[in-house]
């Protein structure tokens, strides 16, 4: 539904093809419905697990919706896997029962849904402000992957992303290059996307967005000047 880090959505035809493959070979698909709770500009995409419940294990957690410190997650697995999962010693201490009970009450009372709605609005406002600032300070950049999640992609065709990452880090702006998420760096070419920044905004305050973008734009200009 939202591939990390590109934000690409698998088409309905490809989703159906994947589910058919799992049925044909009696395979098991591990589905992490990434950023399912934080989609802003499109209707939510149904989990693949609903299409093939006997062949898909859906993973989820509270790491982004509440906090990683809560240490609560789940697997919606095919019924034939239940006994094995319950019997499995995964190592480490399980989350406290009191935390599980507290979340159960938070969920069944409707408070979790209200929390998600408020969080979605808050992050959408921050994302919108980030897009406005990028349009003002880096005009013409074809921003991508902004429909969901806490990050977006910023292509920089005329300067290397790695150099911008290093330059920005010297001014307290932490970014990543899309190439950091590849097993093998993409070969240069007319369609290459290696010079692309991954810009996260989950840990930014709304007030910090304009200054962060100004520092980013200045870093881009300095790198461009060095490459001339």
Average pLDDT of the chain, as a whole number: 89
Main-chain phi, psi angles of 146, to 5 degrees: -95, 0
SS3 155: strand
The domain limits of the chain are 12-109, 121-227
Tell me the C-alpha distance between 135 and 127, whole Å: 12
Evaluate if residue 193 carries a pLDDT over 50.
no
Evaluate if residue 184 carries a pLDDT over 90.
no
pLDDT tens-digit series, residues 4-59:
888 888 889 999 999 999 999 999 999 987 788 888 887 778 889 999 999 999 99
- 121-227 fold: 3.90.1150
User: In the beta sheet, which residues pair with residue 60?
Assistant: 74
Evaluate if residue 91 carries a pLDDT over 60.
yes
Residue with the larger pLDDT of the pair 124 and 94: 124
Evaluate if residue 82 carries a pLDDT over 90.
no
**Architecture of the domain spanning 12-109:** 3-Layer(aba) Sandwich (3.40)
10 Å Cβ neighbour count for 62?
20
**pTM of the predicted model as reported, rounded to 2 decimal places:** 0.84
Tell me the C-alpha distance between 120 and 39, whole Å: 8
Tokens of 155: 């292509």
DSSP letter for each residue of 179-220:
GGG-SSPPPPSTT---SEEEEE-TT--GGGHHHHHHHHHHHH
Percent of the chain with pLDDT over 90: 59
Tell me the C-alpha distance between 191 and 162, whole Å: 18
At residue 103, the pLDDT reads 95
Residue with the larger pLDDT of the pair 182 and 188: 182
212 exposure class (CB count in 10 Å sphere: 0-12, 13-18, 19+): buried
pLDDT tens-digit series, residues 129-182:
999 999 999 998 889 988 888 999 999 978 899 999 999 999 999 999 999 998
Tell me the C-alpha distance between 105 and 97, whole Å: 12
């Amino acid at each position: 539904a939202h591939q990390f880090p590109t934000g690409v959505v698998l088409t309905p035809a490809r989703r159906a093809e994947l589910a058919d493959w799992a049925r044909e070979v009696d395979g098991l698909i591990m589905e992490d419905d990434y950023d399912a709770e934080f989609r802003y500009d499109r209707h939510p995409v149904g989990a693949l697990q609903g299409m093939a419940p006997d062949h898909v294990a859906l993973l989820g957690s509270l790491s982004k919706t509440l906090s990683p410190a809560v240490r609560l997650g789940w697997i919606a697995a095919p019924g034939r896997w239940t006994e094995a999962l319950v019997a499995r010693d995964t190592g480490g201490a399980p989350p406290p029962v009191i935390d599980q009970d507290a979340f159960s009450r938070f969920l069944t009372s409707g408070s979790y849904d209200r929390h998600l709605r408020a969080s979605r609005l808050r992050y959408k406002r921050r994302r919108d402000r980030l897009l406005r600032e990028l349009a003002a300070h880096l005009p013409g950049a074809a921003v991508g992957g902004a429909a969901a999640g806490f990050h977006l992609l910023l292509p920089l065709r005329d300067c290397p992303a790695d150099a911008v990452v290093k330059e920005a880090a010297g001014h307290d702006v932490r970014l990543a290059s899309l190439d950091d998420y590849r097993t093998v760096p993409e070969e240069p070419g007319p369609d290459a996307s290696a010079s692309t920044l991954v810009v996260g905004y989950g840990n930014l305050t709304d007030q910090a967005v304009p200054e962060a973008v100004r520092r980013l734009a200045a870093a881009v200009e300095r790198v461009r000047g060095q490459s001339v």
